[in-house]
Structure 1
Amino acid sequence: MPTFQDPVVDGEEACQALRALAHATRSFDQPAQTYAVVGDVLGGLRSLEQVLEQLASAHTSETAIARTDDGDPWAGIEEAHAAASALRRASTLVARAGLAVDQASVHSGRIAWGTDTPAALIPLTESIAPRIDADDSFQRATGRSSFPRAVTTRPRRSGMSL
């Protein structure tokens, strides 16, 4: 149960909750359940973004007492600022992931899951699925797809930009 006051205990609990969610989402009894889980993940990402910003601030708010293991205060301050910078960068990336999950939530919310899968639709879904968002920079390059990517007229961006 969350304490709302002990970041170490609550951090461990959040880690275990995410681990349990990773295990539980290996399969769904009803595909309609995915919408609620996507919404909860979005809420979690927004909280994680805030946690990362607060951790960054904690690293720089008390630099006067920062030291390395060998007692060097200047190196301790440098490490505190480097950690804060990395945490802020992670917060920005989590915010970007939140935008993508929000977009997924919008699409997921438009689905009215039926009870049967007509056999005639199976070949159609197999040919359409690889073309959806073919130029999406968030997609992982797996190289496993046997379907050709859709041809686009605009150049594909490499990497992530903010």
Structure 2
Amino acid sequence: MATANKTCSLGRRIYRIAASVSGAIAPLIIVWGCTANYFNAGAIAWKTYTNSRYGFEFPYPSNWTSLAAPENDDGIAFIPLQNNTVEIRGWASQQLPNSIITEQESVKKINPNFKTAQGVSGVLVVEVERGVGSMTLTLTQSQVKYYWQGRSKSQDFPDYYRLFYYIAQQYRIPKP
């Protein structure tokens, strides 16, 4: 166990250096390896947010508080009381009909690389930049795009990665 802690401590130091110098690939490998063993979803008291307009839902830690929801009820954001630089957010939006989507927009589409516990395929993008690390999930069903995102300061991202990943896995959308 002590060896694993030393390795992860070294990994976190390397992550901080790499995150400030470059992009996301090397830091993400370190983040994945060092935080995977330290997250226990069963140790967290959860609540579930359900969106009344689009019907998506996701769990969030019960001791996190919501920010003001937009008037159109397209989503919500939550932050932990002790750290307002960390945020989880879910929202949805109507897409234009397929006939109106331009060729340029269709080129930007990325192949699905993630599957939720519900069995819905989507795109999960993890970005660690100089100041902010984020994990963004995008799911598309019919003419609706569903999004979920976790964000934190890049130096804190390794501490939240597994939490964000778990919530992304639990994100649910209405059945077609």
TM-score category by the smaller chain?
under 0.3
* TM-score (normalised: structure 2): 0.20
* TM-score (normalised: structure 1): 0.21
More helix by share: 1
Larger Rg: 1
